[in-house]
Structure 1
């Protein structure tokens, strides 16, 4: 058999002021997507669904083509040019003929003209290959329209956050697809989106309220009650009509009733716990003062308001300014996105003492925020090319790049400034520059949950800091216009009938 395998991932924060063009779709050292053998080499041996697809296909003696690997850091709406180019590349490969398609997608991509870009992609594939089976691996933060469900054969989602089971998710989707191709299963999909915006700091299946819900889904799939069971926390920073918590069940046609019962159980559990999915916000100054009292480090300070893993520009400097004001010692902070500052520091050279404005280059008009640079004086300690390979459990083996990166020593505080935004889910963002995190009392990063994959093992304590930005957990700040309403907790009296 011949398979088409493709990877196209982007999580779109519709409140981000930074559009996402085609050249942004590679987190490594090159610009733009990879194709063919370059795409295969970049994915092979990594913790990705695409790698699982390749391994399974080759393991059974079949062949595949990989027309696209396109993976962008979360940011604003994907440009029409970028989406059309990527979609056409995949559709053209399917048009040439195949027995099945396996897609490593995100599920929360919004492109110009398409609130559900992945659903549009699948509809286009269906237009040229109406009967081809399609397996899709999706991120835990996927949002769903009917187009995404109606045009897929099998869907499986990550069961973890941080996402450390990406390869296994691809394998779960692929196994069901292969069973269908062999005539051993007849998959039918059952799904429901609940009228609730969960807070991303309360979504993780590692803890309640999500843990029991995800455990029930995983047990049902493991025990053969259904073919696949996935609970999606959803991506709440997308102002589109189908944002919300979604449950997707893939059942065998002969056991569809069991799938419906499981769907009802999982949705009922989530809805009953809706108040527990709301994150209480502590004032930023109080969080940092609490961290200041810590006796031992490393203490991980997590600025979750400006996290590029959820679409923030990572150049908001308010939290660092407060850390410096409260005189925390032994700090490493970053990486902060500021290509202009990087160029200035590189021109000055290692060992130079420089005074310059860092960050604050990005206005965020959706929330009425103006960029405010932070003036720093320090010595250029280190300059790197920003390349590193992930060694932690999330996307293990992937080669990533911060672009050119500079470490600025500001009175003992190390500030890492880079050309390309990257969420620090792996310690490589610091260690590639020779920074020994065990010798730092405080590590200030911009993240939300993914940092736990790489940083939790070294942390003596973790303090969440509610800095300003387009990733804020205060939903009252966002001018939502396109959500289905009513929706909890924006309307506290929302009923389940709103679904």
Structure 2
């Protein structure tokens, strides 16, 4: 019987946000210790579930230590890192002599107050521990496609496997693939990881895997894997643009049993393919007036028109309370609008009233000065709820972050003659239609839907939409990276 130690820490860190991410953010989303790592994840569609299910099917003995996850947000306070370290290394200290392998569920773009490369540092500490213990066992894991991969991460692990789809419908599958490779390495550990950093930092809007450059790069990676049996995996890493760290950006890496130079040659070929599609990697966005003019010039749409608010991409870390599209859209007098605004204070006020009552509120624009001003809204409270729902698509991008059961906190649905607005207490990325359907909102009947995302919404929303427009608006997940005050991206390219 194989014995594998399991741990996980997941956070995509937006370093330009003023608000720090404390231990409470992990407690709110996922903080499991010991046996709860298994009982609270098994069957929930997450990457952790993927590993556990595979390990159990293989008859492995799992030693669960700690699994932590928080919604993408600001720089992580050190207390969260310290807790993870303490539980991980306590488990290693107790069980190291009987371990056959270590499996980590990571994101790959985590930054703390003290450490720019959290995953790289943790992996280095794990290797140092194993060296002191005189144990040579494989360390493998799964990472997000948006990971900012460092050389340190690869030097201190045996095989990291990334998601291949964006939206991340394959997160659980990627974790299973990583577990399969760990099993391979426990039998035959003679592998090398090769890393090719690049100068490119792409905004999230340029990283959808149904579009180039990611589509072409991933197709080439799959073809190389199929043709060369020595290549265990090739990762095409989109990177995460909102982390002001030296390792930010697009990178390529692979795990091979063969020659390093040959593997590096493959990665260089993929980079050339990527570079042939650079224009698509930096998509342009237009302001709301220009988009609405186009909509008015086209024949009437029989179905929802998506207004994509990438600058307030909740899945990228921003607060979900931006008013930069909704407020001016309402000011035009248009009707048939559906939007979601994260505003715990407004939701709380609504819960002091009852469904059917009319309220006048100031909603959104409260977290910082970067996402618009609070917006007055008068409407009727259509419903109140605890905000809990189950994903309609168990392979949703959201499952990669939170599993299939989602908690938005106390919610209110407000309606007036122009719009239906779902007000949430916990920012929740719009990655599954169950978010709206669970609150009685028939989004399929909307005229305009404001979507706070970059790419992750596509699996859910594109099938119901007749048109989709990326709208330039205020916010710290802007696709125009030149607007952000980077300090550590020496030699990097952030635009065409």
User: Following TM superposition, by how much is the alpha carbon of 1:85 offset from its aligned partner in structure 2, in angstroms?
Assistant: 1.0
State the match for 1:434 in structure 2: 440
CA contact (8 A) 1:194 1:271 kept: no
Q: Closer, same or farther in 2 for the Cα pair 1:225/1:269, shift >3 Å?
A: farther
CA contact (8 A) 1:5 1:103 kept: yes
1:87 to 85, 88, 102: 85
TM-score, normalising length: structure 1: 0.92
User: Following TM superposition, by how much is the alpha carbon of 1:415 offset from its aligned partner in structure 2, in angstroms?
Assistant: 0.6
Compare 165-174 and 125-134 and name the one that shifted more.
125-134
Q: What does the per-residue CA deviation read over 1:56-93, in whole Å, with 9 as the maximum and x for residues that have no partner?
A: 21112111022222221111101111111123222222
SS at match of 1:14: coil
State the match for 2:36 in structure 1: 38
State the match for 2:147 in structure 1: 142
* CA distance in 2 between partners of 1:52 and 1:420 (Å): 26
State the match for 2:425 in structure 1: 419
Q: How does 1:385-404 map to 2 (within 5 A)?
A: 385-392=386-393, 393-394=395-396, 395-396=398-399, 398-404=404-410
* CA distance in 1 between partners of 2:275 and 2:30 (Å): 41
SS at match of 1:297: coil
State the match for 2:126 in structure 1: 125
CA contact (8 A) 1:91 1:124 kept: no
SS at match of 1:400: strand
Q: What does the per-residue CA deviation read over 1:415-463, in whole Å, with 9 as the maximum and x for residues that have no partner?
A: 1111101111011221111112222222212111010121122222222
User: Following TM superposition, by how much is the alpha carbon of 1:142 offset from its aligned partner in structure 2, in angstroms?
Assistant: 0.6
1:188 to 177, 189, 192: 192
Q: Closer, same or farther in 2 for the Cα pair 1:325/1:260, shift >3 Å?
A: same
CA contact (8 A) 2:358 2:380 kept: yes
2:279 paired with 1:278: no
CA contact (8 A) 1:21 1:82 kept: yes
- Structure 1 gap ranges (5+): 493-499
Q: What does the per-residue CA deviation read over 1:219-278, in whole Å, with 9 as the maximum and x for residues that have no partner?
A: 2234435111011011111110111211011001x4444422212211222234334321
* CA distance in 1 between partners of 2:89 and 2:474 (Å): 40
* CA distance in 2 between partners of 1:126 and 1:478 (Å): 36
CA contact (8 A) 2:14 2:316 kept: yes
* CA distance in 1 between partners of 2:316 and 2:176 (Å): 26
Q: What does the per-residue CA deviation read over 1:330-357, in whole Å, with 9 as the maximum and x for residues that have no partner?
A: 11111x1111111111102211111111
Q: How does 1:43-62 map to 2 (within 5 A)?
A: 43-62=41-60
| Coordinate RMSD, CA, aligned | 1.8
SS at match of 2:406: strand
* CA distance in 2 between partners of 1:287 and 1:86 (Å): 46
2:450 paired with 1:462: no
State the match for 2:346 in structure 1: 341
Q: Closer, same or farther in 2 for the Cα pair 1:225/1:287, shift >3 Å?
A: farther
State the match for 1:200 in structure 2: 204
State the match for 2:169 in structure 1: 164
SS at match of 2:384: strand
* CA distance in 1 between partners of 2:106 and 2:440 (Å): 34
2:362 paired with 1:361: no
* CA distance in 2 between partners of 1:126 and 1:256 (Å): 21
- Structure 2 gap ranges (5+): none
Compare 462-471 and 37-46 and name the one that shifted more.
37-46
Q: What does the per-residue CA deviation read over 1:352-383, in whole Å, with 9 as the maximum and x for residues that have no partner?
A: 1111111111224xxxx375100111111110
CA contact (8 A) 2:5 2:63 kept: yes
* CA distance in 1 between partners of 2:391 and 2:243 (Å): 28
SS at match of 1:34: strand
State the match for 2:16 in structure 1: 15
SS at match of 1:88: helix
CA contact (8 A) 1:119 1:148 kept: yes
CA contact (8 A) 1:291 1:463 kept: no
1:329 to 332, 335, 352: 335
* CA distance in 2 between partners of 1:288 and 1:93 (Å): 57
* CA distance in 2 between partners of 1:435 and 1:37 (Å): 38
State the match for 1:449 in structure 2: 455
2:486 paired with 1:480: yes
Q: Closer, same or farther in 2 for the Cα pair 1:220/1:52, shift >3 Å?
A: farther
Compare 113-122 and 59-68 and name the one that shifted more.
59-68
User: Following TM superposition, by how much is the alpha carbon of 1:285 offset from its aligned partner in structure 2, in angstroms?
Assistant: 2.1
Compare 322-331 and 7-16 and name the one that shifted more.
322-331
